[in-house]
Structure 1
């Protein structure tokens, strides 16, 4: 029985999947040197376009980072998110609005007119189309801000003003294109300051929550009798959101009948295809088709118009044709039916979404980024498993390791290890693992059978 126990323990200790699937740098087609940030356990890794151009899996499963001992370090992908673009705030010209006390009580229904007086612009209230300003309009009741050039949505308005410390003043902001018809954007928003200095604690902001202006003026008003003198206005546009900047990878188009065929060296999903004619004054409606394996039928992917035109000294190029993340290995560019094709091969570039990871800089340098292995299994971890107490966006506070794209080393196809080739197809890997498992069971069964025979022989020999 001790023999059975020893054999069983030995089989349980064997992990055939880990043994066969252990990644090694030589299993991958392309290597880059990575310079990590000293004394930083967690770092970001941005995949360069040179690496994106050799990925052999659509989900970037064939990305590994090895330390100096050839050990693969933990990697977690960073989800793609739109980029937030914050526009700077700026001051805008202001004009005092002069009116009588009676007019101030009905400010929302009054029209305004900008007048030049003693070399400066003053805004006066008019009670009718041809009514002259009243001689008693000697006090400021509001301020006009010339914001006609603002086109983007607004985040907030900040005022610079003199006011009694500790006494809030309610501000109302309205907009108008013609200084006659007004729409309220913010009403009775209190501004206040504790202390006599401008940098004292308080709030001088009026939130505008994405309000969009279009050739509008702004009017800022406050209650009659308020101890308030406006000196300046600063407006902050709302932050905008933009898709991540796409990486551009050049492709080679070879003639094929009336069109061109491109053999893609990568499996990375195509976001768009940027096609420019080689010659000027060219316009060609095109059909794009693709296939995953040579010999398959072409399947339609997209249509578009490719052009390169000159007019009054400027050149106009067609925009990229969106491909919506399709993953193929061959592309065909053909002119639309009945349309002459390109005289010479066009310039073609693939537009790809960037990929980033967070990794644990475990082990000693040098670190090596290895990419390019067909059929690789993903080893990525959840982002929250690497960053303690993870909150969205925490990964962007980490330092970024530098990938040296000039250090690229391409592995000759014959140098890839036999194990990686055997595991290139998931079905082959499964067969190998099942063979090892079945072989172990047969060995264990054989040992058990031999031991049982020995035990029976011993029983018969006893008197």
Structure 2
């Protein structure tokens, strides 16, 4: 009886080994191979997948990405692809604003002020540090009180009155103590009358950081408007979203005046597009539609206003449109020709997707190779909490780094690509032949042992 059990176990083990070998993947099974360099302490390493490598994938969800070591062993890995909407709650809050005055002939950009605040930091009063004579003061900007908002700030929405329509540009700074200010770049608002319709740009994107106070300073104070409303949109997230990565410019096509289409390399979760505005003083209300392939109808994506206008010798440009991150492979831009259109040439388009981070557990000798491009590969990524047993966002930031070697182009072995399906079939046939021989051999051994046992007295 024990001999029969041993034979059964031996057969099961043999079959498991053979089937495992049949399912094992090799770097040659993938069309694109990129060497990696690693720094820091392992055994886990994190890598931001370059967009040009992602675009070589054959599956939109990156099921065909792998990492191999120097002897061809596949490495356990996880993908982190948080979207901007993932696990976040957005809140719109009305905030107080205080005017910042300075004398007309003052040379400093930021007015010096005296501030009175409550115990919790809420602003009560903001006055110039020295008295100003009537008629000498000039409105330089506004101080916004965001001390009641604890979440990262995503967007500033303004409303205003002004004697004339047009564009208003300003610098934006942030502070937590009203003493030390950090730049958040420049912004602009606009209010235009176009074809008897009012077109407004009231929202300004913020960097997604927390701040107790914001300081808005007009670049041309003499024509600055008076604020009537200030709102801040904040977002509470479990983890900050990965940054956007931009593509190279894509050439488009046009078969009808005022309509332009672009074909993306594959279906992608696009979150932003940038349209080339080659001609100065271009203004175009547009609508963007998209679809996953040519057999499907076009679906509305977003509408907006694109422009490139010259003011005070400088270009004021708004050439980006936000998307919600849905998967698209074809995009079509329809332009309202009443604004003059976008010119004779078809504009190029850049698209942005959320960065994808890969974390792998290094096993076996390096160097390591990132591979992608296999239409039949099944998803093999693990959850981060499984790959790293005591995972936390804080620990993720301390992992070693892996980088695609700079200056090394992705290898695309055409001979391997062409012959891989044939080689794979021969390997399968060979492995099944070995399996059958093993089974025949085991059956023969079993009969031989049984005959010997029955022959004994």
User: TM-score, normalised on structure 1?
Assistant: 0.54
Measured at CA, do residues 211 and 249 of structure 1 come closer, stay the same or move farther in structure 2, by a change above 3 Å?
A: closer
Equivalent position SS for 1:376: coil
1:27: which partner in 2? 29
Measure the CA separation in 2 of the matches of 1:322 and 1:7.
Answer: 62
Aligned length: 326
Which one of 39, 51, 54 corresponds to residue 52 of structure 1? 54
Aligned to 2:374: 373
Is 1:302 aligned to 2:301, yes or no? yes
Name stretches of at least 5 consecutive residues in structure 2 with no aligned partner: 89-111, 118-123, 132-141, 151-209, 217-233
Corresponding residue to 1:245 among 243, 247, 250: 243
Residue by residue, what CA displacement relative to the aligned partner does 1:322-355 show, whole Å, maximum 9, x if unpaired?
A: 3322324x41424258876752121211111011
Cα contact 1:34–1:403 (8 A) shared by 2:
yes
Partners of 1:252 and 1:112 in 2: how far apart?
52
Once residues 440 and 96 of structure 1 are traced to their aligned partners in structure 2, the CA distance between those partners, rounded to angstroms, is: 84
Structure 1 runs not aligned, ≥5 long: 85-91, 98-110, 122-147, 157-208, 216-237
Q: Kindly tell me: are residues 251 and 213 of structure 1, through their superposed partners in 2, closer, same or farther at Cα, counting changes over 3 Å? A: closer
2:262 is matched with which residue? Answer: 262
What's the counterpart of residue 229 of structure 1?
none
Q: Deviations over 1:361-399 (max 9, x none)?
A: 222222111123334211111212232422343211223
Q: Give the structure 1 partner of residue 69 of structure 2.
A: 67
- State the secondary structure of the residue aligned to 1:265: strand
- Higher-Rg member (1/2): 1
1:25, CA displacement in angstroms?
1.8
Separation of aligned partners in 1, 2:409 and 2:250: 21
The 8 Å contact of residues 271 and 323 in structure 1, kept in 2 or not, is answered as yes
User: Are positions 1:277 and 2:271 aligned together?
Assistant: no
CA contact (8 A) 1:290 1:301 kept: no
**Structure 1's 417 and 366: CA in aligned 2 closer, same or farther, altered over 3 A?**
farther
Q: 1:419 to 1:17 in 2, by over 3 A?
A: farther
Distance verdict in 2 for CA 1:297–1:38, change over 3 Å: closer
RMSD (Å) for aligned C-alpha atoms: 5.2
Partner Cα separation in structure 1 for residue 126 and residue 411 of structure 2: 72
- Pick closer, same or farther for the CA change 1:439–1:248 going to 2, 3 Å: same
User: What is the SS of the residue equivalent to 1:244?
Assistant: coil
Distance 1:288 1:149 in 2: 39
For 1:76, the equivalent position in structure 2 comes to 78
Say if 1:28 and 1:371, in contact at 8 Å, map to a contact too.
yes
Superimposed CA distance per residue, residues 172-225 of structure 1 (whole angstroms, 9 cap, x where no aligned partner): xxxxxxxxxxxxxxxxxxxxxxxxxxxxxxxxxxxxx9977999xxxxxxxxxx
The yes-or-no answer on 1:149 pairing with 2:150 is no
Q: Is the contact made by 1:52 and 1:266 (CA closer than 8 Å) also made in structure 2?
A: no
Secondary structure of 1:13's counterpart equals: helix
Structure 2 distance, partners of 1:270, 1:318, is 18
Is 2:66–2:371's contact at 8 Å kept on the other side of the alignment? yes
Residue of structure 2 equivalent to 1:290 = 291
Matches within 5 A, 1:2-401: 9-10=10-11, 13-15=14-16, 18-37=20-39, 39-78=41-80, 80=82, 149-153=143-147, 243-258=241-256, 259-280=259-280, 281-283=282-284, 285-292=286-293, 296-305=295-304, 307-312=306-311, 313-328=313-328, 330-335=329-334, 343-401=344-402
Superposition TM-score, scaled by structure 2 size: 0.55
Go from structure 1 to structure 2 and tell me whether the alpha carbon gap of 1:407 and 1:421 turns closer, same or farther (over 3 Å shift).
farther
Judging changes above 3 Å, is the alpha-carbon distance between structure 1 residues 26 and 327 closer, same or farther for their aligned structure 2 residues?
farther
How far residue 314 of structure 1 moved from its aligned partner, in angstroms, is 2.7
